[in-house]
Structure 1
């Protein structure tokens, strides 16, 4: 499998107060199976969709008790140290200096100037997603922030993004492309977002049927925050799991309307 181009979302994971509860939730919602995880790596537990690496879940590290559960997105980098330097140079804050994770690779965790946490991953033996864009796997991600200008200045300076902005007076949205291919987006939060919601990366997981997925989320103790809504990209709903980690589900096959214009 080829290494992901620099700036491409290549992995996602989340830490939970209740690891077994997370496995039950996502196992039923997305059909994931899980490895056992090892004590050496803090019981970091890889999730699989149809036997292919799709994401990971882990227990919260000591001292993180009370920290809200949240999905974290990794952008691919060929050089974690160089990416860390760009993060600092452009006003970001390193939450974790470049750290080698066994033979698997090297990670950096940071926060952009608008307050959004994210990570970068220099792959070793673990190159990231083995399945995307199909039910049960990662489909898309958006940096969702109130300070769009800071995010717009920062991310294309750290990663080789070609930026296109949507021509819509109602929605402030940008798409980040690599080699002409859209890889992620940036959405400006509006007053529709409760003021206590911090900036975050909204990770989208593909599902077979959005409405069925929402019903499953509710049945398992999660919450629906927005939708389901038809769009030219698919039928979408914003939800959170029973431990409060926010994400979205999308049925990529059910598309309605014309694609928006970008400049």
Structure 2
């Protein structure tokens, strides 16, 4: 067999498919144009991974375009199962109202429950109420209090929007989806992927068991540090939750102003 690394042997350029180089048995027998223009061709190509990449790209483009100019915003999370008569619903509504009064837009997952409550509070207060929905097997739909809504296929694209365009997270009682957003936000701050990002839990009674576990066996095991746990603030009053986000925003603005005026 000829050694392709031999300097006297010319390695064929192969077949280029965009940035991908194919050689030998990987070279396709038809071209992309042929597949595109063929009549009666199967439609399964729209479900292949390269096409999914385009869908993912489009979600980022649409999300960035829709949210780039919303101004200061705060992401509010909580259970989709919370009923309108539940105290947590009234808590979410109050958080949404107070955020708007403090000059923030409100972003939620756009669904029912606590999400609807926060969107409702924001809309009733005359502020910008944003919903970032997600395609699910059980359709939730966008709640009626969303003024600007975007629906995503992919969780990771949606999560990026929650972090990129928010100045903090306020987390009300919720389930697995809420826990997922909470721990991802903690991880992003802990690893300094995002900085100066307040994370506020509302409802000390609800969160006390989780925090006791974190400060007990988890901390004792050394898998987290005391500094990591200090990233989480716990309050019961919606006013305190909003104040925590406001305080962080003011500190950040002061730091940026100081850095801009520093001649060095």
Structure with the greater alpha carbon radius of gyration: 2
* Larger RCO of the pair (alpha carbons < 8 Å, separation 6+): 1
Per the normalisation by structure 2, the TM-score is: 0.27
More strand by share: 1
Q: TM-score, normalised by structure 1?
A: 0.27
